[in-house]
Amino acid sequence: MRTYAKPVAAVTGALVLAATLTACGGSSDAADEKVVTVYSADGLKGEKGDGWYDKVFADFEKETGIKVKYVEGGSGEMVQRALREKSNTQADLLVTLPPFIQQAGSKGLLQSYEPKGSDQVDGADKSDDGTWTSVVNNYFGFVHDKKELPQAPKTWEELLDAKYKDKLQYSTPGVAGDGTAVLIKAMHDFGGKEPAMEYLKKLQANNVGPSSSTSKLAPKVDKGELLVANGDVQMNFAQAKSMPNLGIWFPAKDGGKPTTFALPYAAGLVDKAPHTENGRKLLDFMLSEGAQREVSAIGGGFPARKDVKTTDANAIALAELMEGVEVFEPDWADIDKNLAAYVDAWKSATGS
């Protein structure tokens, strides 16, 4: 375990956009050759067209003439969609949070490709077999309503208070990446699956209910419909630009320190992609120095490349936010292997 100390980069993009697909899997005619289709977890697309994806996709199209078609949802949802389409592939790039990018790899959804610049990505943030690499780094977190709840809770245990009944919500584990992160952090903080499930069973008395997408929760917190919800630093920092009541915090177990873990946006080239070469070009572009520098200035989060250093106002603000927060590294191999069992345990504990 380590305490976060070094400056980090930042954010301004978020929220939801859905697109319809016209490309036919496995083949492309002349009209489709200048397209690339991205299936992605939510968080990097700007609500007002001002996110990192918005800028990167526009620059990529201007430079290459290749139009980006974009489909967004929860991490698990995107993997399941790609899995259903495996015999008629429609996506070229898949971008999800862990452990779903590992899941996509183990299900044979990704082909090996090491994009330019991936040699500057830390080994923990990319696969050994070249099937995926992080394009934007990020950390798990929670949000609170600064207007109705000026002082953020400090511990998990505080959330069991009756004042949070029907004022607390977290996205669904096994469906949303940030929802799955709730399980991962709880198991770490409480010292294992059983004590974590015991806690989450108690917390269910205050929980509003399931949500397939984490990004939908922040607006409810900003409006005061919720006091607390889960999220991630990149997305919530971005949303706070237009949602002034959002405050980011990290729960600790009673008597312990606040903790978090890296939750990067990781991208992989889809196996039998209809536009494989275009997918390679876009992945290269995402990891280019120029695009990585804009992660901070425009708002995608934390640069994935260790040789890209950012010192802008957002980076400074996030360094302050992360000060004193312990960053642990989950056992992703264990989580990939046992995710279904952990989600089933959560369903049993919470009656979900």
Residue 264 has pLDDT above 90, yes or no: yes
Please tell me the predicted confidence (pLDDT) of residue 32. 56
Burial of 312 (0-12, 13-18, 19+ CB in 10 A): middle
What pLDDT sits at residue 298? 84
List, for residues 208-227, the tens digit of each pLDDT value: 999 998 999 999 999 999 99
Residue type at 98 in one-letter notation? P
Structural contact between residues 127 and 220, judged by C-beta atoms closer than 8 angstroms: no
Mean pLDDT of 306-328: 91
Ramachandran assignment for 283, one of left (phi > 0), alpha (psi -120 to 50 degrees), beta (any other):
alpha
pLDDT of res. 46: 86
The Cβ of residue 319 has, within 10 Å, a number of other Cβ atoms equal to 17
**25-34, 140-149, 225-234, 245-254: least confident range:** 25-34
Question: Percent of the chain beyond pLDDT 70?
Answer: 91
Does 268 score more than 70 pLDDT? yes
Using pLDDT thresholds of 50, 70 and 90, give the confidence band for residue 40. Answer: very high
Mean pLDDT across the chain: 90
Q: Give the tens place of pLDDT for each residue, 71-92.
A: 999 899 999 999 999 999 999 9
The CB density around residue 85, as the number of other CB atoms within 10 Å, is 17
In tens, the pLDDT along 159-195 reads 999 999 999 999 999 999 999 999 999 999 999 999 9
271 and 132 Cβ atoms separated by less than 8 Å: no
Tell me which of 8 and 192 has the higher pLDDT: 192
Give the pLDDT confidence score for residue 22 in this predicted structure: 38
As a whole number, mean pLDDT of residues 224-236 equals 95
pTM reported for the whole predicted model: 0.82
Q: Provide mean pLDDT across the span 1-28.
A: 39
What is residue 74's predicted lDDT score, i.e. its pLDDT?
87
Burial zone of 260 (CB within 10 Å; 0-12 exposed, 13-18 middle, 19+ buried) = buried
Is the pLDDT confidence value at 27 over 70?
Answer: no
- What are residue 338's phi and psi, to 5 degrees? -115, 10
Count of Cβ atoms closer than 10 Å to residue 225 Cβ? 16
CA distances for 161 relative to 55, 165, 188, 205, angstroms: 43, 8, 22, 10
Distance CA 215, CA 255 (A): 30
The phi and psi torsions of 349 (rounded to 5 degrees) equal -65, -40
Q: Which of 269, 233, 244 is nearest to 39 (CA)?
A: 269
Q: For position 94, what pLDDT does the model report?
A: 98
Residue 53 has pLDDT above 80, yes or no: yes
Integer Cα distance of 78 and 115 in angstroms: 22
User: Positive or negative, the Cα torsion across 63, 66, 67, 70?
Assistant: negative
What is the share, in percent, of the chain residues with pLDDT greater than 90?
77
**Nearest one of 132, 193, 195, 143 to 168, comparing CA atoms:** 143
pLDDT of residue 300: 57
Asked if the model's pLDDT at residue 14 lies above 60, the reply is: no
Among residues 110, 118, 54, the alpha carbon closest in space to that of 264 is found at 118
Cα–Cα distance, 312 to 290 (Å, whole number) = 15
pLDDT digits (tens, 9 = 90+) for 295-309: 887 875 889 999 999
Pairing mode, strands 110-111 and 93-96: unpaired
Question: Of 67, 72, 116, whose CA–CA distance to 96 is shortest?
Answer: 72
Whether 8 contacts 294, CB under 8 Å? no
